[in-house]
Amino acid sequence: MIKLKNVDKTYWLGEEKVEALKSVNIEIKDKDYVGILGSSGSGKSTLMHIIGLLDQPTSGAVYLFDKDTSKLNDSEISSLRNENIGFVFQQFNLIEKFSVLENVMLPAQYAKNKLSFNPREYALELLERFGIEDRANFYPNKISGGQQQRTAIARALIMKPKLILADEPTGNIDSKTGDEIMKLLESLNKDLGVTIVVVTHESEVAERTKRKIYVKDGVIVDKY
């Protein structure tokens, strides 16, 4: 499903050259559940952005769903990302002027191909599955942090993606709610066969995944 070959990523901060990733080689298979673990500044978020087609490597190759992404134009990359990848962020990234239901349905509005399902019906089904159907018409600032993260996960699933990338999904919620969110991700992997990649600096979170990838100073290491 995902293969990175000799991926480097460098950028400049003023006159300082930052080598965010160095010769990264990883493979993530279909229905895998992987934790990418690293401290702040290790390069783990850069790695997630490249896997999620939010950024491009300086050099190296990225294969996603059997496609060489270097051969795709911007429109093709956008379609591949929108139709196959769901994102869950630490900050939730919900739109305040939209209701919970509207936030969940949002990615479907950008679909370039005709959908095989009714987005509203599926969004309501997801909200029911996550126990927040009674919050469908609430706005993000009127629900709890845990409910906001459940909304974000429902939004990530609306396009029925093959892959979910979760960046510090428990970072802005209490430990009890964080445990519930991790159980939710685990059930999506086990019951629906969704490939899950969790980016975290918390070893407790990473321990709940099936496999761990350690990142240190932009390099994949066996362990810390």
CATH of the domain at 191: 3.40.50.300
Per the domain annotation, does 195 fall within a domain?
Answer: yes
The first and second tokens of residue 68, run together, are: 């060489």
Cα–Cα nearest to 46, from 66, 62, 69: 62
pLDDT of residue 216: 95
C-alpha span between 122 and 209 (Å, rounded): 27
State the residue range of the domain holding 206: 28-60+73-221
The first and second tokens of residue 50, run together, are: 């490249």
C-alpha dist (Å) from residue 62 to 2, 4, 114, 169: 8, 5, 27, 24
Per the domain annotation, does 10 fall within a domain?
Answer: no
Q: What is the mean pLDDT of each run of 10 residues along the chain (224 residues)?
A: 96 90 96 94 94 95 94 92 90 94 92 84 95 96 94 94 93 88 93 94 91 95 76
Per the domain annotation, does 167 fall within a domain?
Answer: yes
Per the domain annotation, does 104 fall within a domain?
Answer: yes
Per the domain annotation, does 6 fall within a domain?
Answer: no
pLDDT of residue 224: 57
The total number of structural domains in the chain stands at 1
The helix (run of H) or strand (run of E) holding residue 178 is helix 175-192
Per the domain annotation, does 84 fall within a domain?
Answer: yes
Phi/psi at 27 (5° precision): -140, 130
Per the domain annotation, does 3 fall within a domain?
Answer: no
pTM of the model: 0.90
pLDDT of residue 172: 83
C-alpha dist (Å) from residue 191 to 98, 174, 185, 187: 30, 25, 10, 5
Per the domain annotation, does 144 fall within a domain?
Answer: yes
pLDDT of residue 116: 85
